[in-house]
Amino acid sequence: MAFVADRLNAVKPSATIAVTQKARDLRLAGRDIISLGAGEPDFDTPAHIIEAAKKALDDGFTRYTATNGLPELQQAISAKFKRDNGLNYKPSQIHVSCGGKPVIFNAFMASINPGDEVIIPTPYWVSYPDIAAMFNGVPVFVDCPTSTNFKLTPEKLDAAITSKTKWLMLNSPSNPSGTAYTETDLMGLAEVLMRHPHVWIFTDDIYEHIIYDGFKFKTLAQVEPALWERTLTMNGMSKAYCMTGWRVGFAGGPDEIIRAMTKVQSQSISHTAAVSQVASVAALNGPHDFIKEHNKVFRDRRDLVVSMLNQTQGLNCPTPEGAFYVYPSCKELIGKTTEDGKCIQTDEDFVTALIEAEGVAAVHGAAFGLSPHFRISYATSTDLLKDACERIQRFCASLR
Q: Which residues contact 26 (CB under 8 A, 6 or more apart)?
A: 33, 355, 359, 361
Inter-helix orientation angle 274-285/71-85, to 10°: 30
Min dist. Cβ of residue 59 to ligand GLU (A): 31
Restricting to residues 252-271, which ones interact with ligand GLU according to CB under 6 A? none
Judged by CB under 6 A, the stretch of 14-22, 112-120, 139-147, 313-321 that binds ligand GLU is: 14-22
Provide φ and ψ at 334, rounded to 5°: -70, 130
Min dist. Cβ of residue 127 to ligand GLU (A): 6
Restricting to residues 115-134, which ones interact with ligand GLU according to CB under 6 A? 125-127
Q: Which residues contact 109 (CB under 8 A, 6 or more apart)?
A: 134, 135, 264
16, 106, 179, 272: which one binds ligand GLU (CB under 6 A): 16
Judged by CB, which is closer to ligand GLU: 354, or 399? Answer: 354
Judged by CB under 6 A, the stretch of 10-18, 71-79, 89-97, 102-110 that binds ligand GLU is: 10-18
Closest CA to 360 of 10, 28, 22, 7: 22
Applying CB under 6 A, does 172 fall inside the site for ligand GLU? no
Give the pairing of strands 94-97 and 360-361.
unpaired
Applying CB under 6 A, does 102 fall inside the site for ligand GLU? no
> CA-CA distance, 272 to 53, in Å (whole number)?
14
> CA-CA distance, 132 to 127, in Å (whole number)?
9
Min dist. Cβ of residue 40 to ligand GLU (A): 6
Judged by CB, which is closer to ligand GLU: 14, or 346? Answer: 14
Closest CA to 223 of 86, 386, 95, 88: 86
End-to-end CA separation in angstroms for the chain: 50
Applying CB under 6 A, does 175 fall inside the site for ligand GLU? yes
Judged by CB, which is closer to ligand GLU: 39, or 359? Answer: 39
Restricting to residues 127-166, which ones interact with ligand GLU according to CB under 6 A? 127
Beta bridge partners of 140: 119
Q: Which residues contact 38 (CB under 8 A, 6 or more apart)?
A: 16, 17, 19, 20, 377
Cis status, amide bond into 139, omega within 30 of 0: no
Applying CB under 6 A, does 14 fall inside the site for ligand GLU? yes
Give the x/- contact pattern for ligand GLU in 60-89, rule: CB under 6 A: ------------------------------
Give the x/- contact pattern for ligand GLU in 29-58, rule: CB under 6 A: ---------xx-------------------
Min dist. Cβ of residue 125 to ligand GLU (A): 6
Judged by CB under 6 A, the stretch of 9-17, 48-56, 138-146, 182-190 that binds ligand GLU is: 9-17
Contact 68, 95 (CB under 8 A): yes
Q: For binding to ligand GLU (CB under 6 A), which residues are involved?
A: 14, 16-17, 38-39, 125-127, 175
